[in-house]
Amino acid sequence: MKILVVGNGGREHALLWKLRRDAPGAELFITRGNGGTDALATSIPLDAGELQSLAGWAEQNQIDLTIVGPEAPLAEGIADHFGNHRLPVFGPSKQAARIESSKAFAKGLMARHGIPTAAFQVFTALPEAEDYVRSVAGPVVVKASGLAAGKGVVVCDDTDQALTALRETMEGGAFGVAGAEVVVEERMTGEELSVFALTDGQNVVPMVPAQDHKRVGEGESGPNTGGMGAYAPVSLATPELMERVEREILRPTVAAMAAEGCPFRGLLYAGLMLTPDGPKVVEFNCRFGDPETQVVLPLLRSSLLDPILEIARGGSLAGVRLGWSAQAAATTVLASGGYPGDYPSGVPIHLPAELQSSDDVIVFHAGTRRADDGALVTAGGRVLAVTALAPTVAAAAERSRAAAESIRFEGKHFRRDIGWREIERANAHA
């Protein structure tokens, strides 16, 4: 079997890692692989955004399955291009990917179909948005409607902060064209939960929930990032809660997409807030999350390839159940100096040899590449995701942190409190 993974970050490295375990004999390919994927897959000289070229390459090379990692190619219609070539692809159509590429569409869908989410309004003109914020006169969340690499959300404590966020988003170009339309919504309280679900457009197969850390600083301080770490499982996600999430959010959302003529086949990611009134949707993504994938997949005992292939070929997930490890996983993201602002590139990385052969620590590469002399150097803001497995979240976090400490590159920074809420809960019940 020949499998192509589109994308070249930590999420894609984790997908390759799992695929290699599911299909040891498969030929794996990746678009412009990074410094860590070369041990698993052949890098091809095409970018994730070269949709027609990728479809042509996959057809010419008789690729049996393509898995799309990032949201941008999905939003641009890569699944449609592959479908036109009759090539099996895992990822939703352009119309279905709007559930992530347009927050305004996603919020409207939820409103029309009674799916629990925060109260909201959508604006394309700054004066109307400002008037609304002044009328609310309280904490709100300002979101760029389009794709903003996980950074287009500003949580505002008061009206002045909200007005500043609106102006920077809609006039200042803080998030580019993604901010031409904004969603202003009530600020929900509670803990967040990331829930992945495989879906064939009708059936839904949830995966183990995770919780990520978006803020750059410890204690959830500083600006939002693409994600500084994650852990799984989450004790708040009881079987009863997950049954409610599936009943009230996942299945109704998949049914709503089908009812509106854009059936969703692929990986539906629900970012949830566990409010006093129950779980509510913060946002949807149309693909695996990063860095949550780096903790969810190492806990998956059963095959990922089998259900993904079934979806890509137009089949059904009826009766499919996934098997999970009883262990916990935590991942610590090592970032370049300056991230999430400007950062240098090409900084040499020292990766201890023992980490590369460890059974309970997996180093997933995100922003790395090989220099001309073969040395490993930085090539992005989020450089590595250091995942550790252990019997408890606390032990996994400690093991991940220790491994992160042992990796060296100039300017490296990372959070040392991954999983802190879960650890506090465990200590409180000890």
**pLDDT tens readout for residues 180-230:** 899 999 999 999 999 999 999 999 999 999 999 999 999 999 988 889 999
CA separation, residue 407 to residues 14, 372, 383, 403 (Å): 19, 21, 11, 7
Domains of the chain: 2-94 (3.40.50.20), 125-180 (3.30.1490.20), 191-312 (3.30.470.20), 328-428 (3.90.600.10)
In this model, does residue 430 exceed pLDDT 80?
A: no
In the 8-state DSSP scheme, what is residue 172? S
**Average pLDDT value for residue range 387-397:** 98
Q: Which tens digits make up the pLDDT trace of 61-101? A: 999 999 999 999 999 999 999 999 999 999 999 999 999 99
In this model, does residue 429 exceed pLDDT 90?
A: no
H helix or E strand, kind and range, residue 211: strand 211-212
**Average pLDDT value for residue range 306-323:** 97
334-345 CB burial, b ≥16 within 10 A, e <16:
bbbbebbeebee
Residue 147 confidence (pLDDT): 87
pTM of structure: 0.95
Cβ neighbors of 120 (< 8 A, separation 6 or more) are 107, 111, 183, 184, 185, 186
- Short-list 331, 413, 407, CA closest to 364: 331
CA separation, residue 280 to residues 117, 194, 196, 244, 283 (Å): 5, 12, 15, 11, 9
CA–CA separation, 259 vs 176, rounded Å?
32
Q: Which tens digits make up the pLDDT trace of 135-172? A: 988 899 999 988 887 678 888 999 999 999 999 999 88
**Average pLDDT value for residue range 296-312:** 98
Classified as helix, coil or strand, 389 is: strand
**Average pLDDT value for residue range 395-407:** 98
Bridge partners of residue 421, in order along the sequence: none
Residue 179 confidence (pLDDT): 86
| Residues of the chain above pLDDT 90, percent | 90
Sign of CA dihedral 331, 404, 228, 217: positive
Bridge partners of residue 273, in order along the sequence: 192, 280
